[in-house]
Structure 1
């Protein structure tokens, strides 16, 4: 059983917390963007386009950070090779 624990990567708590916090910030950006009044006279590129782009980018980065944290976090190549 100790070999199984050594082979399984540890949960990287700081990276996980930062990823969750960034995901919460992306949710706040989405919520605030939905409250921006948009006139039907605007074309497809209105005042909400850039906040939505920012929200999508933040969501993707936060999900990548959460996945990396669940896999054991970021490590330099030298640390990955040592048992």
Structure 2
């Protein structure tokens, strides 16, 4: 049986933030991925996340502008 210091489930973008800190160390990492390495966004696209991010930015900005020319802040339904 192999010994690992870390076991990571899924290989999405968050893993790529974790791995560079491990370069040059003797730590052993096991990445478990059932589908394409890299996760959904690099392999299939992540438009829903991008669309929601844009809508939420507009909603938050309109809240900050309420009383400064914006009568009612935008709401996401």
Q: TM-score range by the shorter chain?
A: 0.3 to 0.5
What TM-score, normalized to structure 2?
0.33
Larger RCO: Structure 1 or Structure 2 (Cα < 8 Å, ≥ 6 residues apart)? Answer: 1
Select the structure that is richer in strand. 2
